[in-house]
Amino acid sequence: MTELTELTAVRLLDGYRKGEFSPVEATRAALRRAEAIQPEVNAFVRLTAEDALRRARESEERWRRGAPVGLLDGVPVTVKDILLLRGAPTLRGSKTVDPGGRWDEDAPSVARLREHGAVFLGKTTTPEFGWKGVTDSPLSGVTRHPYDRTRTAGGSSGGAAAAVALGAGPLALGTDGGGSVRIPAAFCGIFALKPTYGRVPLYPASAFGTLAHVGPMTRDAADAALLMDVIGHPDSRDWSALGPAAAAFTDGLAGGVRGLRVAYSPTLGGQVAVRPAVAAAVRRAVQRLAELGAYVEETDPDLTDPVEAFHTLWFSGAARVTQRLGPEQRELLDPGLREICAQGAGYSALDYLAAVDIRMDLGRRMGRFHDTYDLLLTPTLPITAFEAGAEVPKGSGHRRWTGWTPFTYPFNMTQQPAATVPVGTDGDGLPIGMQLVAARHRDDLVLRAAHTLYEAGVTSGGN
């Protein structure tokens, strides 16, 4: 019998429906796995076992009566420690956040999960305030790769990715301001979607503004579509939230890719040096999409690397989130975060608005690009997971995490939906991800194409 920790959310729900196993059994199995991986991987800042088992018992009784409360009744989920979870402190990876207080409110996505009967296993690790593409912080230490403990799980949603990869809950909520669900998902061999901005409401508003998205991290695209059907609804606390989706994301999965116009950009026009193993794995997946009926053309978007504009927006946000801190509290911050905060505080309003102009032009160019192409395919990252505890790979010459994530942060600037799917491993057995990008509001296309790859057996993760 397949272990419960290896099942997707869709499969768990089918088992509950058929009486093959119960939410209590699934929750206990997920908690055991979480406790087992925690000493070496460090995916969690907090496990909420007592509350999880209470919610699982309530769900089990509802299933016994044949009256589940929602789409995810009894499914174990984790929440990144950037998002509010009622009854648990949200420390955001920082020693500067006071764990005392009421902590009596859910973030919008967490509130929707609660309404649909999900079981909260706990809070997953994040770098301080989610500022970088790896997961380590002065508060919780280093989060390690699920298949090689010497390497990073990526970030900033690294704990969430490691938890899903190792069976500590099939569903996770992450956040993504420059790649933070896609980076760790690619490193850890799972699926993640950064939805169109506003599709999943966010509260409190991020200091990083409209770069910041909430997204699902899951075993496959079908689970992500199901999770999006729960969390992708408006919330009055987010003034920038979109209205309801036109249709359920799960209903659109089965359309296949035949006839889709797909652009494949292996290096963004020669701007990115991609490791050969990564390039080969992504090319094989692209070829498979062509075999499945997509019209694939190797071409590049009109995209000049916007890294300096992104830094202006991102570092300014970091300066804002730490603005209230006094000198003693600033000494508690991650040294790298202190550096970018100082840089961000030096920008003027005109600097910021100039970066916004670049962002708007980039969005216009990508909008025109998608007049011709339904999807853009790229590697998610040009590399596989590197040593844990470092912001950049040793010897890379990069100064900041944006140096090795050139495929991800541009699409936070444009607010487009972008997902990563696992498409193989390198010679060390480390997962490789392929990124799928669509025009704004076409999350359904990204999910459908990703689901087609899973159905065709193209996707593969780690060990």
Choose the catalytic residue: 22, 80, 132, 137: 80
Q: How far apart are CA 414 and CA 245, in angstroms?
A: 19
> Of 156, 157, 206, 265, which is the active-site residue?
156
pLDDT at position 461: 59
For tokens 């207080």, the residue is 101
CA distances from 273 to 297, 399, 438 (A): 20, 16, 23
The identity of residue 348, as a single letter, is S
Pick the catalytic residue from 94, 137, 157, 180: 180
DSSP-H helix ranges across 232-334: 276-291, 307-321, 327-330
Burial 291-302 (b: 16+ CB within 10 A, else e): ebebebeeebbe
| 123 part of the active site | no
What is the full DSSP assignment across 202-255?
-SSPPTTGGG-EEEEEESSHHHHHHHHHHH-S--TT-TT-----SS-TGGGGGG
Q: How confident is the model at residue 460 (pLDDT cuts 50, 70, 90)?
A: low
pLDDT in tens, 137-161: 999 999 999 999 999 999 999 999 9
- Concerning whether 236 is annotated as a catalytic residue, the answer is no
- 156 an active-site residue? yes
Examine the pLDDT at 2 and tell me if it is beyond 90: no
pLDDT (tens digit per residue) in 241-290: 999 999 999 999 999 999 999 999 999 999 999 999 999 999 999 999 99
Band of residue 462 on the pLDDT scale cut at 50, 70, 90:
low
- What is residue 458's predicted lDDT score, i.e. its pLDDT? 87
Reported pTM:
0.98
CATH class of 4-455: alpha beta
pLDDT, residue 101, reads: 83
Is 102 in contact with 90 (CB distance < 8 Å)?
Answer: no
Is the model's pLDDT at 463 over the cut of 70? no
